[in-house]
């Protein structure tokens, strides 16, 4: 989605809009990528379901309406009406990919082919003739050319969404005008192995050009590498080029350390990195992996680093001190498909821990009174309040509308956004840091040297948010206010060793006093099952603290939308299969966090502490 400016959304005419359709449309709109629609497998409506022309039109109408509802739901105000798809404009086409035919309203007008002709040709098995009259490739290409934007237009409105730098800078001007003579700005969107070239990075160039043999700077890795080869894609092939201009997608060989989401620029003109490429859903399941034989350790490290580079939805943390290798993914199946099976195929002998669920810690009420945090030398004091974040602000963060950021100077746009979501106007001016869906505010007035210790306060805040007070799980939806501080006059007595433990301890204590509690991840999934097997599927859901949200039946298949705690979902796929005679399937729709039932909280906290080896202890004074 980051590499392209427009997408063709493909929908099965029989199945209609599926959970994955919603995910990809959401992802496209989040990246300001314009969608058009192709409804595939139309032959199934004619041959299998034997629908009349009127019934087929109803089916199409329903699919188009549902897609437009998604565009209205997830699109930004400025684009949702512009990007609605309609049959008359030609932004929707219908066809059958395997038989290579397709039609759209412009083609019907031009060629005189009617729906009746299509039904007859399909019924009579004359689809080869149909493919000559209405070739799929020309219908799709015409639709793409007419309705999807070219880079010169798209970059005008996409750059401000995907690049967090100063929009008045020369770099921004080069990118918004897609200037081939400007300084290089590009992003790696994919990394894949190639038997001949080692690794190939797929790169979208937003300004400047990439030339064979030139040096490029990797912003996140902070290093310079030489481009050995640059090519453009032609289907499966790569065609070698001397140089390629802005607005194109290229294959680059020679960047050994690039990963999906890395920013490439000119070593003489380093720019701010692009926004991280993120999946709609955060990872909610982790597994620890270690090699059975120490000699295979380096093989395992290489494998995990490579996997982390290739798939940005997997988080790979290699803790070289504790010897733990943690892989986090969207669910058990995701880790199984992307890590466990490939490791076995690579012949690395490993032991893999049972799945670990990532919980979050939150706070119920504002801290009754500011909590004092004293530095180990007793010369510095900080007064801190923790309170729950406004729900609308938190939702905007989850939706990616408010990214993590440091607020160094007055940011009117951010202030207005927060106020519109119910944030106090005065508080909106005091925001210092947004980190992992939590906010730090400096509410102090006239405190001597507060600016000098602000970076240390931010570090303490990050540390407290990464490991909450109950079980050292990450925090979410917490607002931390520094209300006051008393600082030693001498810089030497207010260094990191004094400030960090004091602030961190005060934040954790403030959360405890505000009623800290645990949130557990839940997946909203859709299960499709033959109606006669329904009871097996619902029993599986009910046995796992699941809640059924809605049920729909169509042509002997029941769709169940249900909400299940991730902690109860291990082994769900195989259990569903055995409970439904192998005929039940499920898809992920959404992931959300909800409070863990009170009766389970104590047990879960003690299990997490046991797993992490947390001993009940006070933070050491002089750490």
Strands 438-442 and 478-486: parallel
pLDDT surpasses 80 at 120: yes
Cβ neighbours around 526 below 10 Å, total: 20
**CA 324 to CA 212: how far, in whole Å?**
40
**What domain range includes position 553?**
518-601
CATH number of the domain residue 219 falls in: 2.40.30.10
**CA 521 to CA 519: how far, in whole Å?**
7
The structure tokens listed for 194 are 């190639």
Percent of the chain with pLDDT over 90: 61
> Would 615 be classed as within a structural domain?
no
Clarify whether residues 143 and 14 are in a common domain.
yes
Are 330 and 281 spatial neighbours (Cβ–Cβ below 8 Å)?
yes
> Would 300 be classed as within a structural domain?
yes
Clarify whether residues 486 and 593 are in a common domain.
no
**For the CA atoms of 39, 40, 44, 46, what is the dihedral angle to 10 degrees?**
50
Q: Is 547 helix (H, G, I), strand (E, B) or coil?
A: strand
Clarify whether residues 347 and 371 are in a common domain.
no
The pLDDT tens digits of the residues spanning 146-177 come to 999 999 999 999 999 999 888 999 999 999 99
Q: What are phi and psi of 23, to 5 degrees?
A: -60, -45
Domain edge (last residue) among 495, 514, 533: 514
The structure tokens listed for 15 are 């199945």
β-bridge partners, 291: 350
- Provide the number of structural domains found in the chain: 5
CATH number of the domain residue 327 falls in: 3.30.70.870
- Report the candidate in 221, 229, 215 with the shortest Cα–Cα distance to residue 258: 221
**CA 318 to CA 117: how far, in whole Å?**
60
Clarify whether residues 324 and 311 are in a common domain.
yes
Clarify whether residues 137 and 40 are in a common domain.
yes
Entry field: residues in the chain: 623
Q: What kind and span of H or E run contains 237?
A: strand 237-241
Clarify whether residues 329 and 417 are in a common domain.
no
CATH number of the domain residue 558 falls in: 3.30.70.240
> Would 107 be classed as within a structural domain?
yes
Domain edge (last residue) among 357, 381, 396: 357
- Report the candidate in 320, 3, 252, 113 with the shortest Cα–Cα distance to residue 103: 113
Cα 300 to Cα 250, 297, 342, 469, 567: the distances in Å are 30, 5, 11, 33, 27
**CA 107 to CA 104: how far, in whole Å?**
5
Clarify whether residues 456 and 394 are in a common domain.
yes
Place of tokens 């912003």: 219
| 371-381 average pLDDT score | 92
The pLDDT tens digits of the residues spanning 482-522 come to 999 998 888 888 889 999 999 999 999 999 999 999 999 99
CATH number of the domain residue 477 falls in: 3.30.230.10
**CA 8 to CA 35: how far, in whole Å?**
6
Are 329 and 335 spatial neighbours (Cβ–Cβ below 8 Å)?
yes
Clarify whether residues 370 and 510 are in a common domain.
yes
> Would 299 be classed as within a structural domain?
yes
**CA 370 to CA 510: how far, in whole Å?**
7
Tell me, what's the pLDDT at 322? 59
Clarify whether residues 166 and 244 are in a common domain.
yes
**For the CA atoms of 330, 332, 334, 338, what is the dihedral angle to 10 degrees?**
130
Confidence bin at 319 (pLDDT 50/70/90): low
pLDDT surpasses 60 at 139: yes
Tell me, what's the pLDDT at 616? 63
- Report the candidate in 617, 576, 582, 588 with the shortest Cα–Cα distance to residue 523: 588
Clarify whether residues 13 and 26 are in a common domain.
yes
> Would 610 be classed as within a structural domain?
no
> Would 470 be classed as within a structural domain?
yes
> Would 272 be classed as within a structural domain?
no
Confidence bin at 621 (pLDDT 50/70/90): very low
Domain edge (last residue) among 297, 330, 357: 357
Q: What kind and span of H or E run contains 222?
A: none
Confidence bin at 619 (pLDDT 50/70/90): very low
The model carries a pTM of 0.76
The pLDDT tens digits of the residues spanning 380-436 come to 999 999 999 999 999 888 877 888 888 888 888 899 999 999 999 999 999 999 999
**CA 176 to CA 153: how far, in whole Å?**
8
Clarify whether residues 107 and 175 are in a common domain.
no
> Would 612 be classed as within a structural domain?
no
Clarify whether residues 132 and 251 are in a common domain.
no
Q: What is the 3-state secondary structure (H, E, C) of 46-111?
A: HHCCCCCHHHHHHHHHHHHHHHHHHHHHHCCHHHHCCCCCCCCCCCEEEEECCCCEEECHHHHHHH
- Report the candidate in 25, 36, 31 with the shortest Cα–Cα distance to residue 159: 31
């Amino acid at each position: 989605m980051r590499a392209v400016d427009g997408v063709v959304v493909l929908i099965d005419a029989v199945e209609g809009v599926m959970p994955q359709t919603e995910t990809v449309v959401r992802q496209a709109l989040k990246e300001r990528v314009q969608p058009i629609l192709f409804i595939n497998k139309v032959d199934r409506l004619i041959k299998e379901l034997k629908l009349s022309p009127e019934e087929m039109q109803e089916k199409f109408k329903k699919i188009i309406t549902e897609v437009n509802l998604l565009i209205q739901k997830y699109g930004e105000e400025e684009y949702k009406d512009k990007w609605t798809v309609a049959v008359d404009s030609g932004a929707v086409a219908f066809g059958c990919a395997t038989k290579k035919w397709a039609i759209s309203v412009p083609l019907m007008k031009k060629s005189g082919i009617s729906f009746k002709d299509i039904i007859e040709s399909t019924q009579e098995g004359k689809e080869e003739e149909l493919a000559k009259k209405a070739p799929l490739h020309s219908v799709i290409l015409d639709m793409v050319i007419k309705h999807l934007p070219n880079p010169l237009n798209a970059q005008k409105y996409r750059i401000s969404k995907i690049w967090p730098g100063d929009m008045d800078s020369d770099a921004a001007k080069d990118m918004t005008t897609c200037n081939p003579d400007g300084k290089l700005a590009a992003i790696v969107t994919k990394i894949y192995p190639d038997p001949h070239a080692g690794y190939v990075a797929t790169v979208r160039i937003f300004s400047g050009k990439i030339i064979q043999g030139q040096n490029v700077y990797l912003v996140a890795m902070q290093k310079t590498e030489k481009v050995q080869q640059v090519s453009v894609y032609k289907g499966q092939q790569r065609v070698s080029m001397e140089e390629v201009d802005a607005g194109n997608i290229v294959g680059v060989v020679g960047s050994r350390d690039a990963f999906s989401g890395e920013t490439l620029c000119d070593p003489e003109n380093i720019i701010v990195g692009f926004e991280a490429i993120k999946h709609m859903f955060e990872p909610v399941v982790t597994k620890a992996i270690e090699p059975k034989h120490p000699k295979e350790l380096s093989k395992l490290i290489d494998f995990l680093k490579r996997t982390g580079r290739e798939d940005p939805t997997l988080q790979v943390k290699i803790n070289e001190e504790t010897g733990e290798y943690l892989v986090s993914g969207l669910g058990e199946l995701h880790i199984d498909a992307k890590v466990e099976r490939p490791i076995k195929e690579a012949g690395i002998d490993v032991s893999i821990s049972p799945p670990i669920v990532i919980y979050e810690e939150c706070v119920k009420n504002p801290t009754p009174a500011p909590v004092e945090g004293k530095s180990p030398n007793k010369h510095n004091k900080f007064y801190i309040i923790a309170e729950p974040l406004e729900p609308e602000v938190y939702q905007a963060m989850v939706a990616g509308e408010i990214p993590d950021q440091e607020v160094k100077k007055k940011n009117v746009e951010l202030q207005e956004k927060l106020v519109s979501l119910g944030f106090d106007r005065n508080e909106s001016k005091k925001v210092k840091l947004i980190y992992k869906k939590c906010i730090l505010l400096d509410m102090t007035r006239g405190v001597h040297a507060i600016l000098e210790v602000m970076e240390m306060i931010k570090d303490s805040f990050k540390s407290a948010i990464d490991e909450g007070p109950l079980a050292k799980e990450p925090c979410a939806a917490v607002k931390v206010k520094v209300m006051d501080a008393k600082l030693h006059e001498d810089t030497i007595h207010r260094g990191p060793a004094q400030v960090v433990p004091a602030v961190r301890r005060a934040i954790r204590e403030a959360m405890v006093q505000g009623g800290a509690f645990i949130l557990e991840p839940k997946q909203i999934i859709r299960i499709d099952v033959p109606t006669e097997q329904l009871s097996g599927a619902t029993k599986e859901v009910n046995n796992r603290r699941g809640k059924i949200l809605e049920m729909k039946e169509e042509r002997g298949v029941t769709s169940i939308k249900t909400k299940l705690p991730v902690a109860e979902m291990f082994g769900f796929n195989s259990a569903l299969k055995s409970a439904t005679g192998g005929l039940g399937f499920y898809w992920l729709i959404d992931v959300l966090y909800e409070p863990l039932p009170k009766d389970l909280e104590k047990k879960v906290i003690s299990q997490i502490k046991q797993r992490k080896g947390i001993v009940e202890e006070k933070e050491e004074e002089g750490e």
